[in-house]
């Protein structure tokens, strides 16, 4: 044990710590640009680590991972354009707070929440890596299908005042996932003979269109009639009073994010949505969510960043990536001759401890940079719309094209921008659509794979673990409605008593 610790400490040179810092800065910068996600940053920059020592490569990649996940919240808060799909829920309360002149405070809450979630997930990673990995290993096709159904209900319940409109948005998203070549049979679906649709609708251009282009269109119609309040950037740190009120939210959402992050394929978006809906459902004032309250920022950001430590658990213990980023990091480890899996704890424990240490250091750098730079981030919102909107549009076009180097994705971005604009006008949730797109593919693939595995026996969807999620799904739909009915009846009864 002492030899392992000394081995880890020997890798903590000034150079490796600087590489963590560089990784965090690059991750934040890339993550804050719509379309340029942490996944893309890690994928592109992995090639630059080939000539490094394995410890240096691990340090830089983990820094990019942590910074990239956090960076998506910046554009979500200031411009209502999530840099990553994980920051979709952050925009619901972050942007309204920014419009009230509290952009700096919103970023401060996001930064502290991200740090808290990241550190708590690191503690879980260190203490319970092997135990949580064994639980996650029990999840197969039926479990993931039920999780996807649960996620769709969460989305519909959390992202719209009307459950029907939330479901409609999710259904549209699920339909979009059916476009392209069938993953199991190879048969084209809804491609209309167009080769560009064979690979389906790209997530990045759809995301940028729904949240970027649609917002630009909204701004064009309000550019003269609406005067946005100037940002108050004199105070970034939200204050101990605000953080004290959020301690319960932060603790609950950290646990949610870590557990969901440990489930391979689940990732930050699902964690953010589950955490947001959980806090909204349990709040005494759920109607305030979406209007710009601290809880609406803290919940998704804390859970989102907690998935970093969670996603590393199956990667280290089972050699199974928890999400797309850890899949790339897993490949980078293999290139550097590091073999992950159950035996790593006996064969090369110093690698495991290095991951622990670098992830903690990356989170420390993330909160320092986030709080120090928030003043400059918040200034973006004060830029004249006539200057800012063309720049945002340019970033949207570049981000859409960079996702797959296809001009067709720019057309997809524009179409989804128009779709998002009209969906906002009629009150259908664009968040539900994009998340339906994320979960639709997960639901379809695992549903069909589960039936293949069981030879058409639907009883496979009612094993113990799926039954737990079925119960949670029913509770997610029924409990808020029941609570609303009880609250309405109490209000009616109190009015009748007052009248008497």
- The gap between the terminal CA atoms of the chain, to the nearest Å, is 75
Residue ranges per domain, the chain?
Answer: 13-488
DSSP strands (E only) in 145-273: 180-181, 188-189
Place of tokens 């999400």: 323
Measured CA to CA in angstroms, residue 31 lies from 170, 232, 299 at distances of 25, 24, 19
**Quick one: DSSP state of residue 213?**
I
Average pLDDT of the residues in 174-192? 84
How would residue 226 be classed by pLDDT, with cut points 50, 70 and 90? very low
Residue 188 β-bridge partners = 181
Q: Which residue has the higher pLDDT, 57 or 40?
A: 57
Reported as a single tens digit per residue, the pLDDT across 349-392 is 778 888 888 999 999 999 998 888 766 765 655 566 677 678 77
Average pLDDT, the chain: 79
Contact residues for 234 (Cβ-Cβ < 8 A; gap 6+): 104
Spatial contact of 409 and 401, defined as CB atoms under 8 Å apart: yes
Q: What is the pLDDT of residue 35?
A: 57
pLDDT at 230 over 70: no
DSSP 66-130: HHHHHHHHHHHHHHS--SSGGGHHHHHHHHHHHHTT-HHHHHHHHHHHHHHHHHHHHHHHHHHHH
As given in the structure block, the two tokens for residue 403 are 């996702």
Nearest C-alpha neighbor of 201 from the set 411, 432, 364, 500: 411
Give Rg (Cα) of the chain: 22
Distance between CA atoms of residues 453 and 475, nearest Å: 29
Distance between CA atoms of residues 367 and 379, nearest Å: 19
Place of tokens 């069909």: 448
Average pLDDT of the residues in 135-149? 78
- Percent of the chain having pLDDT more than 90? 10
Reported as a single tens digit per residue, the pLDDT across 248-301 is 899 999 999 988 887 765 667 778 888 888 888 887 888 788 888 888 899 999
Average pLDDT of the residues in 310-327? 73
Tell me the whole-structure pTM to 2 decimals.
Answer: 0.67
Q: What is the pLDDT of residue 368?
A: 92
Place of tokens 């009629």: 426
- Neighbouring C-beta atoms of residue 43, cutoff 10 Å: 18
Q: What is the pLDDT of residue 358?
A: 92
Instruction: Count each helix (H run) and each strand (E run) in the chain, helices first.
Output: 20, 2
386-417: string of b/e by CB count within 10 Å (b at 16+)? eebbeebeebbbbbbbebeeeebbbebbbebb
Spatial contact of 474 and 467, defined as CB atoms under 8 Å apart: no
Average pLDDT of the residues in 110-137? 81
Reported as a single tens digit per residue, the pLDDT across 198-217 is 888 887 788 778 877 887 88
Reported as a single tens digit per residue, the pLDDT across 186-195 is 788 888 888 8
Highest mean pLDDT among 72-81, 100-109, 402-411, 457-466: 457-466
How many Cα atoms are found within 13 Å in the side-chain-facing hemisphere of 226? Answer: 10
pLDDT at 225 over 50: no
pLDDT at 89 over 90: no
Q: What is the pLDDT of residue 6?
A: 65
Phi, psi (degrees; rounded to nearest 5) at 189: -130, 125
């Amino acid at each position: 044990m002492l030899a392992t610790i000394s081995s880890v400490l020997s890798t903590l040179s000034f150079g490796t710590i600087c590489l963590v810092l560089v990784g965090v800065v690059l991750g934040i910068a890339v993550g804050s640009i719509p379309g340029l996600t942490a996944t893309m940053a890690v994928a592109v920059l992995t090639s630059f680590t080939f000539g490094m020592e394995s410890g240096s490569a691990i340090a830089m990649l983990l820094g990019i991972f942590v910074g990239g996940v956090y960076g998506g919240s910046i554009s979500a808060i200031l411009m209502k354009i999530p840099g990553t799909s994980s920051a979709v829920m952050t925009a619901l309360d972050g942007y309204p707070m920014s419009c009230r002149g509290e952009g700096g405070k919103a970023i401060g809450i996001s930064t502290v929440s991200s740090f808290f979630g990241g550190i708590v997930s690191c503690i879980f990673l260190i203490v319970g890596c092997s135990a949580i990995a064994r639980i996650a290993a029990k999840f197969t096709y039926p479990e993931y299908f039920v999780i996807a159904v649960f996620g769709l209900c969460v989305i519909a319940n959390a992202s719209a005042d009307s459950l029907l409109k939330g479901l409609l948005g999710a259904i549209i998203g699920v339909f979009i996932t059916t476009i392209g070549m069938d993953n199991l049979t190879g048969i084209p679906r809804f491609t209309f003979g167009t080769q560009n649709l064979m690979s389906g609708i790209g997530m990045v251009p759809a995301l940028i269109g729904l949240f970027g282009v649609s917002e630009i269109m909204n701004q064009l119609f309000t550019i003269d009639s609406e005067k946005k309040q100037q940002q108050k950037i004199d105070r970034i740190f939200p204050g101990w009073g605000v953080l004290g009120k959020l301690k319960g939210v932060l603790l609950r959402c950290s646990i949610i994010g870590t557990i969901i992050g440990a489930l391979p394929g689940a990732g930050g978006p699902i964690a953010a949505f589950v955490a947001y809906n959980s806090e909204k459902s349990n709040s005494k004032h759920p109607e305030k969510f979406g209007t710009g309250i601290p809880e609406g920022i803290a919940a998704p950001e804390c859970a989102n960043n907690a998935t970093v430590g969670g996603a590393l658990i199956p990667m280290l213990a089972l050699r199974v990536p928890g999400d797309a980023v850890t899949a790339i990091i897993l490949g980078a480890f293999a290139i550097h001759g590091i073999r992950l899996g159950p035996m790593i704890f006996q064969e090369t424990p110093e690698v495991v401890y290095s991951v622990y240490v670098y992830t903690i250091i990356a989170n420390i750098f993330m909160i320092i940079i986030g709080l120090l730079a928030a003043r400059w981030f918040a200034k973006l919102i004060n830029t004249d719309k006539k200057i800012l909107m063309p720049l945002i549009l340019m970033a949207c076009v570049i981000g859409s094209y960079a996702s797959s180097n296809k001009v067709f994705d720019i057309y997809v971005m524009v179409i989804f921008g128009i779709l998002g604009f009209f969906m906002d006008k009629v009150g259908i949730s664009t968040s539900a659509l994009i998340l339906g797109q994320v979960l639709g593919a997960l639901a379809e693939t695992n549903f069909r794979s589960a039936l293949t595995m069981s030879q058409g026996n639907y009883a496979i969807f009612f094993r113990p673990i799926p039954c737990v999620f079925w119960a949670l799904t029913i509770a997610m739909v029924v409990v808020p409605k029941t609570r609303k009915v009880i609250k309405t009846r109490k209000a009616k009864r109190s009015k009748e008593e007052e009248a008497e």
